[in-house]
Structure 1
Amino acid sequence: MSEVLDRAESGRAVTGTMGAEVAALPPHMILMAEETRDGVPTYWVSRGQIIAVLKAVKAAGRLRMLFDLTAVDERQRQTRTPGLPDSDFTVVYQITSFDGPLDDLRLKVAVSADDPTLPTATVVWPNANWLEREAWDLMGVVFEGHPSLRRIMTPPTWVGHPLRKDHYARATERPPYTLSEDDVFREQEALQFKPEEWGMQRHSENSDFMFLNVGPNHPSVHGVFRVMLQLEGENIVDAVPDIGYHHRGAEKMAERQTWHSYIPYTDRVDYVGGVMNNFPYVMGVEKLAGITIPPRAQMIRIMLSEFFRLSSHLVFYGTMVQDLGQLSPVFYIFTDRERVFEIIEKICGFRMHPAFFRIGGVAMDLPKGWEGEVKAFLDYLPPRLAEYDKMVMQNPLFKARTKGVGIYSTEEAIDWGITGPGLRATGLEWDYRKKAPYSGYEHIPFEVPTAANGDCYDRAAVHIEEMRQSLKIIRFCLENMPEGPYKAEHPLAMPPPKPRTMHDIETLIHHFVGIGWGPMIPTGEVRSCIEATKGLNSYYLTSDGGGMSYRTRIRTPSFIHLQQLPLLARGASIADLIAIIGSIDFVMADVDR
Structure 2
Amino acid sequence: MATTLSPARRREQTQSLPDWISTRLAPPGILATQPTRDGVCTIWIAATDLRPTLAALKEDASTTLMLFDLTAIDERGRTHREGQPQAAFTVVYHLLSLTSRADELRIKVPLGAASPGLPTISDLWPNANWYEREVWDLFGIRFDNHPFLRRILTPPTWTGHPLRKDHHARATEMPPYSLTEDEEMHEQHALRFDPARWGMKRHSAHSDFMFLNLGPNHPSVHGVFRIVLQLEGERIVDAVPDIGFHHRGAEKMGERQSWHTYIPYTDRVDYLGGVMNNFPYVMAVETLAGITVPPRAQMIRVMLAELFRIASHLVFYGTMAQDVGQLSPVFYMFTDRERVFGIIEAICGFRMHPAWFRIGGVAMDLPAGWDGLVRAFINDLPKRLDEYDAMVMRNPIFRARTQGVGAYTTAEAVEWGVTGPGLRATGLAWDYRRHAPYACYDQLEFDIPTAANGDCFDRVAVHVAEIRQSLRILRQCVDNMPAGPIKAEHPLTCPPPKPRTMHDIETLIHHFLGVSWGPVIPAGEARCCIEATKGLNSYTLVSDGGTTSYRTRIRTPSFAHLQMIPLLSRGVMIADLIAILGSIDFVMADVDR
Do the two structures share a fold, i.e. TM-score over 0.5? yes
CA distance in 2, matches of 1:372, 1:21: 55
SS of equivalent residue, structure 1 residue 481: coil
CA distance in 1, matches of 2:297, 2:425: 32
Deviates more, 1:334-343 or 1:83-92: 83-92
Alignment-derived partner of residue 139 in structure 1: 139
Alignment-derived partner of residue 275 in structure 1: 275
CA distance in 1, matches of 2:425, 2:102: 20
Alignment-derived partner of residue 65 in structure 2: 64
| Letter matched to residue 21 of structure 1 | W
Is the contact between residue 493 and residue 514 of structure 2 (CA under 8 Å) also seen in structure 1?
Answer: no
CA distance in 2, matches of 1:292, 1:446: 25
- 1:406 and 2:406 matched: yes
Q: What's the offset of the Cα at 1:101?
A: 4.1
| Letter matched to residue 80 of structure 1 | R
| Letter matched to residue 72 of structure 1 | I
Alignment-derived partner of residue 26 in structure 1: 25
Alignment-derived partner of residue 432 in structure 2: 432
Q: Deviations over 1:231-286 (max 9, x none)?
A: 11111111100000000000000111000000000000000000000000000000
Alignment-derived partner of residue 295 in structure 2: 295
Alignment-derived partner of residue 209 in structure 2: 209
- 1:338 and 2:331 matched: no
Q: TM-score, normalised by structure 1?
A: 0.96
Alignment-derived partner of residue 236 in structure 1: 236
CA distance in 2, matches of 1:388, 1:101: 37
Alignment-derived partner of residue 75 in structure 2: 74
Is the contact between residue 419 and residue 557 of structure 1 (CA under 8 Å) also seen in structure 2?
Answer: yes
SS of equivalent residue, structure 1 residue 325: coil
Q: What's the offset of the Cα at 1:222?
A: 0.7
Alignment-derived partner of residue 389 in structure 1: 389
Q: What's the offset of the Cα at 1:509?
A: 1.3
| Letter matched to residue 25 of structure 2 | P
CA distance in 1, matches of 2:231, 2:218: 18
Q: What's the offset of the Cα at 1:471?
A: 0.2
Is the contact between residue 284 and residue 540 of structure 2 (CA under 8 Å) also seen in structure 1?
Answer: yes
Is the contact between residue 98 and residue 430 of structure 1 (CA under 8 Å) also seen in structure 2?
Answer: yes
| Letter matched to residue 148 of structure 1 | F
Q: TM-score, normalised by structure 2?
A: 0.96
SS of equivalent residue, structure 1 residue 496: coil
Counterpart mapping for 1:149-548 below 5 A: 149-202=149-202, 204-548=204-548
Question: How many positions carry a matched residue from both structures?
Answer: 579
| Letter matched to residue 503 of structure 1 | H
CA distance in 2, matches of 1:25, 1:510: 53
CA distance in 1, matches of 2:493, 2:26: 43
Structure 1 430/516 Cα, relative in aligned 2: closer, same or farther at 3 Å?
same
| Letter matched to residue 69 of structure 1 | L
Q: What's the offset of the Cα at 1:26?
A: 3.3
| Letter matched to residue 22 of structure 1 | I
CA distance in 1, matches of 2:274, 2:302: 13
CA distance in 1, matches of 2:40, 2:79: 23
Is the contact between residue 488 and residue 494 of structure 2 (CA under 8 Å) also seen in structure 1?
Answer: no
SS of equivalent residue, structure 2 residue 549: coil
Is the contact between residue 236 and residue 574 of structure 1 (CA under 8 Å) also seen in structure 2?
Answer: yes
Structure 1 17/437 Cα, relative in aligned 2: closer, same or farther at 3 Å?
farther
SS of equivalent residue, structure 2 residue 345: helix
Is the contact between residue 73 and residue 551 of structure 2 (CA under 8 Å) also seen in structure 1?
Answer: yes
Q: Deviations over 1:344-389 (max 9, x none)?
A: 0000000000000000000000000101101000111000000000
Is the contact between residue 89 and residue 110 of structure 2 (CA under 8 Å) also seen in structure 1?
Answer: yes
Q: Deviations over 1:431-482 (max 9, x none)?
A: 0000000001000000000000000000000000000000000000000000
CA distance in 2, matches of 1:566, 1:333: 31
- 1:84 and 2:84 matched: yes
CA distance in 2, matches of 1:124, 1:21: 20
Alignment-derived partner of residue 4 in structure 1: none
| Letter matched to residue 480 of structure 1 | N
CA distance in 1, matches of 2:305, 2:500: 28
- 1:109 and 2:104 matched: no
| Letter matched to residue 190 of structure 1 | A
SS of equivalent residue, structure 2 residue 368: coil
Alignment-derived partner of residue 93 in structure 1: 93
CA distance in 2, matches of 1:273, 1:526: 22
| Letter matched to residue 359 of structure 1 | I
CA distance in 2, matches of 1:92, 1:283: 21
| Letter matched to residue 38 of structure 1 | D
| Letter matched to residue 67 of structure 1 | F
| Letter matched to residue 68 of structure 1 | D
CA distance in 1, matches of 2:108, 2:448: 33
Is the contact between residue 25 and residue 53 of structure 2 (CA under 8 Å) also seen in structure 1?
Answer: no
CA distance in 2, matches of 1:555, 1:16: 30
| Letter matched to residue 470 of structure 1 | S
CA distance in 2, matches of 1:45, 1:421: 34
Q: What's the offset of the Cα at 1:317?
A: 0.3
Alignment-derived partner of residue 37 in structure 1: 37
Structure 1 residue runs of 5 or longer lacking an equivalent are 1-12
Structure 2 residue runs of 5 or longer lacking an equivalent are 1-11
Alignment-derived partner of residue 5 in structure 1: none
CA distance in 1, matches of 2:433, 2:22: 29
Is the contact between residue 203 and residue 209 of structure 1 (CA under 8 Å) also seen in structure 2?
Answer: no
Q: Deviations over 1:395-423 (max 9, x none)?
A: 00000000000010001000000000000
| Letter matched to residue 24 of structure 2 | L
Structure 1 16/415 Cα, relative in aligned 2: closer, same or farther at 3 Å?
farther
Is the contact between residue 493 and residue 518 of structure 2 (CA under 8 Å) also seen in structure 1?
Answer: no
Q: What's the offset of the Cα at 1:496?
A: 2.1
Is the contact between residue 344 and residue 351 of structure 1 (CA under 8 Å) also seen in structure 2?
Answer: yes
Q: What's the offset of the Cα at 1:503?
A: 1.9
Q: What's the offset of the Cα at 1:20?
A: 5.0
CA distance in 2, matches of 1:199, 1:109: 29
CA distance in 2, matches of 1:102, 1:586: 29
CA distance in 2, matches of 1:179, 1:552: 32
| Letter matched to residue 108 of structure 1 | K
Is the contact between residue 43 and residue 106 of structure 1 (CA under 8 Å) also seen in structure 2?
Answer: yes
- Provide the alpha-carbon RMSD of the alignment: 1.3
CA distance in 1, matches of 2:374, 2:500: 30
Q: What's the offset of the Cα at 1:202?
A: 4.7
SS of equivalent residue, structure 2 residue 188: helix
Structure 1 532/102 Cα, relative in aligned 2: closer, same or farther at 3 Å?
farther
Q: What's the offset of the Cα at 1:341?
A: 0.2
SS of equivalent residue, structure 1 residue 189: helix
Is the contact between residue 102 and residue 436 of structure 1 (CA under 8 Å) also seen in structure 2?
Answer: no
CA distance in 1, matches of 2:58, 2:492: 40
| Letter matched to residue 52 of structure 1 | P
Is the contact between residue 40 and residue 106 of structure 2 (CA under 8 Å) also seen in structure 1?
Answer: yes
| Letter matched to residue 74 of structure 2 | D
CA distance in 1, matches of 2:510, 2:548: 17
Q: What's the offset of the Cα at 1:99?
A: 1.9
CA distance in 1, matches of 2:322, 2:135: 36
CA distance in 2, matches of 1:264, 1:212: 38
CA distance in 2, matches of 1:21, 1:317: 46
CA distance in 2, matches of 1:382, 1:246: 36
Deviates more, 1:475-484 or 1:504-513: 504-513
CA distance in 2, matches of 1:414, 1:17: 24
Is the contact between residue 38 and residue 526 of structure 1 (CA under 8 Å) also seen in structure 2?
Answer: yes
